[in-house]
Structure 1
Amino acid sequence: MTNQTATTTDAKCDIGFIGLGVMGANLTLNLADHGYSVACFDLDTEKTQAILEKDQAESGDQPARLIGCDSFADLLSNIAAPHIIMLSVPAGAPVDAVCAQLIEAGLPRDSIVIDTGNSLWTDSVEREARLSKDLVFFSTAVSGGEVGARFGPSLMPAGNADAWARIEPVMNAIAAKVDPTSGLPLESFEPGKPVTEGEPCVTYIGPAGSGHYVKMVHNGIEYADMQLICEAYHAMRSTLAMTPAEIAAVFSEWNKGKLNSYLMEISAEVLAQTDATTDVPLVDMILDRAGQKGTGLWTAVGALELGSPAQTIASAVFARSLSALKDERRVASQQLSGPVAAPVSEEEKAVAISQLEQALYCSKICAYAQGFQLMATASNTHNWNLNFAEIAKIWRAGCIIRAVFLQSITDAFEKDSQLSNLLLDPFFNEQIAEYQSDWRQAIAKATIAGVPCPAMMSALSYYDSYRTDVLPANLLQGQRDYFGAHTYQRVDKPAEEAYHTQWSTPGRPEVKV
């Protein structure tokens, strides 16, 4: 290593950092940009060396901000007490292994160990309880990818409230910032010159596990948002015969209005990119098989477990699963027939593009409504007392789903903290009412042309189901009672009473159970 290799001195570092992969290295440099000295360690010494060299290059003639350590004991000896140590290691067993090795190396009991990885929320709950005799385990979910980690992520911290009081200044410093008046991001991507003004995109979420749960739902919404954009793209290519470059121009235009978001911005950039090897649109050279790391699946499973409808998020997860069946789809495309899209005039194309814009917007409202409804159900179930206005605020910058749209969600929950569903907020109610005809037309046109739009369809179905006073679940309950004697409630009797029709008995008498 360079001369920044750790040696035990009287000058102790403010923070320890373990795990110097892409996210860990960028979070470490972010800390350094905000004036924190960091003792860092990775099992891969090359990663430690790489970040020391990068720090040296960025610091120039200034004193080095980082110290590289060769072991857990070395790390502990170079951090000021009471210790604050951040982890950026793979979720699961690696987190447990690092905690065990820190304890073995002599970690003081009042030390705070902060997990910044994508851990399953139940693991965070279990770890805080299990490790409480040896250390203070805390978790801070991080969103924003490598750029966000380096220059300002959205942070969702949760755990011991006393620990939060100690680490809050650190989290406030490194988080993304927004203008308090406009709600728009304040951004700087120059090393050593961080944004220090504005509202930080971090808020204490609540007890252990709640932060990672909120991040999990964030990622579920992200899945839905991405899929919805992809469906708009697919409809334009298949029904309007538009090129990637033409669609990129439309997305760029949409990004100037109510659909302004990071995901819309990068979608336009991807579609505008030409492949250097073939000189064709890069998107046409990318295999249509989507990957996933599990957080969208966790959200869908969590929604099913709590009985909270989140079908647009689930549809987005299933869309990725279906995309993975590439070989089967290739065969099926040669054997299964479908309609052929009819040619459209330029006037019809302009109308269709406008309808798709509104369909994307309305579907997005429903996806967010489902995500916040799921968080509300989890909050009530686990007594977390989540603050949804604050959650929407911290997603306005730094995270992957950052969008101007989130200011409207913040406003909705600030006006009514007990709002049961975003669709019932006057602003979003009016937006859906104004644009739902276009939403329906866009989906109908895609369906008639044989273009799949599962997320948009599920969003519209969610909206129509939520606004319907009487659903066919009455027939469903009759079916359940018929084959399984599962009973039912009557509309003319108290809700706590259950009834069963004796279907196999002559006359089929009804009995109160």
Structure 2
Amino acid sequence: MTNQSAAGLADIGVLGLAVMGANLARNAARKGFGVAVFNRNHERTEKLIAEYGSEGRFFPSKNIEDFVASLAKPRAVIIMVKAGKPVDDMIEDLIAQLEPDDIIIDGGNSLYTDTARRFKRCEDANIRFVGMGVSGGEEGALEGPSMMPGGDRAAYERIAPIVTKMAVSVDGTPCCTYIGPDGAGHYVKMVHNGIEYADMQLITEAYDLMKTLYGLDAKAMSDIFTDWKAGDLDSYLIEITAAVLRKTDSTGKPLVDSIVDEAEQKGTGRWTAQNALELGVPVTAITEAVFARALSGRRAMRGEAEKKLPHAAVATRKPDRAEIDAIRDALYASKIVAYAQGFEQMAVASNQYGWNLTLGDMATIWRGGCIIRARFLDRIKEAYDRDDKLSNLLLDDYFRDAVVKAEDAWRRVIVLAVQNGVAVPAFSSALAYYDGLRRARGPANLLQGLRDYFGAHTYRRLDKEGSFHTRWSQDGTEVEA
């Protein structure tokens, strides 16, 4: 119990008590903090206290005025409501009740540009604002998530003793650190989710190859993913893939075989791809993962296309161990590319928006609690420790060697998939990015020539300085632009 709690006031408040909010409140209470709780539907507050009130020191309120009054100054309130207008509405309600230097923390999945706008709104009202990405799902929220707070630095220092204790720790280091100003925290969470999209798509492509080309059943694939977790692919997503494939339903059959093949999305992956386009960063694996979900949503269209577009039946192959290992290697190489693209996007955004992100810190706080936690995040941290100006993870010796080692298997797997009509968009785009990246001179010279022909967009030459334009359809002469 803290001194504030002993004085009859809460250390922190949680507003919005759906699953994530309720679990964050319980997390803070379990860690010894006094927690004020409020939900517009008071039944949720009552339910939380009835079921978990014994876990710590809670301060339930029926209205926002009592909620604010139960908090020690400077007050700190975590908002856990649906992203979008509900966050804006709640901020306005809180501003009317709070005092200068009190702190509002948006812990939801807000778009980083909204966070930057809200930061300015609160600043104008003399209220401090923190946009905090929280990853780990409902289990992480309760047991210890990865937390990505950005915004007002002084506000972070005030809440740091609380949120760093709420976050999970790996090797004694909390998976929580100050990210950067205004919308930086939610931006990093957005890219985290984009990488998550790619990671999951790559896993589903490996699953599809094993199922479609080799006829493996869910249990056999579960065993393979379990084996893969013991190696370089060790990660939370690989672990739960094995668990999902192992699960049977009431009929005794694999549950996964009865799940509709239509993936939903809440928007963070799409935001990542949209921002990458704006910044000119080629995050191909993430973007293909977003498109794959969109295509999965065209279920009726896919059913019609299967009937009308001819395709040969796939002949099931013997599941040779070497070929299954090749899928593993292709998955690992593609995963490295996806992370390299995501980290490059954060680096470019940091420069564009003046955030001064420390990329090694991102790898550190993603090692535990979050959905993309994986063994090789330690390798990413080491890469940035060696070179904090590293422009691309593929240029680090460890990741270069890993991809080079996997390259032959990677190519074989994609060729086999293409020959048999199995779509592997994330595998393929990751390899295409790799091939494009390692060419000092590509074919864009022709592209630029075409642009100059039809739009007089000019071009630069290898052999002299300046910009030039050719009068293609006139006298064919070249002039300086």
Measured against the shorter chain, the TM-score band is over 0.9
> Which residue does 1:66 correspond to in 2?
58
> Which residue does 1:13 correspond to in 2?
10
Shift in alpha-carbon separation, 1:133–1:344, aligned structure 2, 3 A: closer
> Which residue does 1:304 correspond to in 2?
277
Q: Higher mean Cα deviation, 130-139 or 207-216?
A: 130-139
> Which residue does 2:3 correspond to in 1?
none
Q: Distance in 1 between matches of 2:159 and 2:298?
A: 45
Q: 2:212·2:316 contact (CA, 8 Å) conserved in 1?
A: no
> Which residue does 2:257 correspond to in 1?
284
Amino acid at match of 2:239: E
> Which residue does 2:28 correspond to in 1?
31
> Which residue does 2:120 correspond to in 1?
129
> Which residue does 1:321 correspond to in 2?
294
2:442 aligned to 463, 471, 474, which one? 471
Deviations 1:32-73 (A, max 9, x none): 0111011100011111011111223x43xxxx5112101110
Q: Distance in 1 between matches of 2:307 and 2:361?
A: 51
Q: Distance in 1 between matches of 2:7 and 2:107?
A: 28
Q: Distance in 2 between matches of 1:12 and 1:351?
A: 62
Residues 1:510 and 2:481 are matched in the alignment: no
Q: 1:109·1:133 contact (CA, 8 Å) conserved in 2?
A: no
SS of 2:452's equivalent in the other structure is helix
> Which residue does 1:183 correspond to in 2?
none
Which of structure 1's runs of 4+ aligned residues deviate more than 2 A? Answer: 338-346
Q: Distance in 2 between matches of 1:470 and 1:499?
A: 19
2:464 aligned to 484, 489, 493, which one? 493
Deviation at 1:152, TM superposition (A): 0.4
RMSD of Structure 2 on Structure 1 (CA)? 1.2
Alignment of 1:158-307 (within 5 A): 158-179=150-171, 198-276=172-250, 278-307=251-280
Deviation at 1:343, TM superposition (A): 3.8
Residues 1:356 and 2:327 are matched in the alignment: yes
Q: Distance in 2 between matches of 1:318 and 1:202?
A: 31
1:340 aligned to 297, 313, 317, which one? 313
> Which residue does 2:76 correspond to in 1?
84
> Which residue does 2:107 correspond to in 1?
116
SS of 1:132's equivalent in the other structure is helix
Deviation at 1:345, TM superposition (A): 3.3
Q: Distance in 2 between matches of 1:475 and 1:111?
A: 58
> Which residue does 1:94 correspond to in 2?
86
Deviation at 1:164, TM superposition (A): 1.3
2:397 aligned to 405, 426, 444, which one? 426
Q: Which runs of 5+ in 2 are unaligned?
A: 1-5
Q: Higher mean Cα deviation, 27-36 or 329-338?
A: 329-338
Q: Distance in 2 between matches of 1:376 and 1:110?
A: 31
Deviation at 1:10, TM superposition (A): 5.9
Deviation at 1:99, TM superposition (A): 1.5
Aligned residues: 475
SS of 1:39's equivalent in the other structure is strand
Q: Distance in 1 between matches of 2:363 and 2:288?
A: 23
Shift in alpha-carbon separation, 1:365–1:10, aligned structure 2, 3 A: closer
Q: 2:367·2:373 contact (CA, 8 Å) conserved in 1?
A: yes
Q: Distance in 2 between matches of 1:172 and 1:131?
A: 24
User: Percent of counterpart pairs with the same letter?
Assistant: 48
Q: 1:262·1:402 contact (CA, 8 Å) conserved in 2?
A: yes
SS of 2:36's equivalent in the other structure is strand
Q: Which runs of 5+ in 1 are unaligned?
A: 1-8, 180-197
Q: 1:219·1:295 contact (CA, 8 Å) conserved in 2?
A: yes
Deviation at 1:178, TM superposition (A): 0.5
Q: Distance in 2 between matches of 1:216 and 1:82?
A: 29
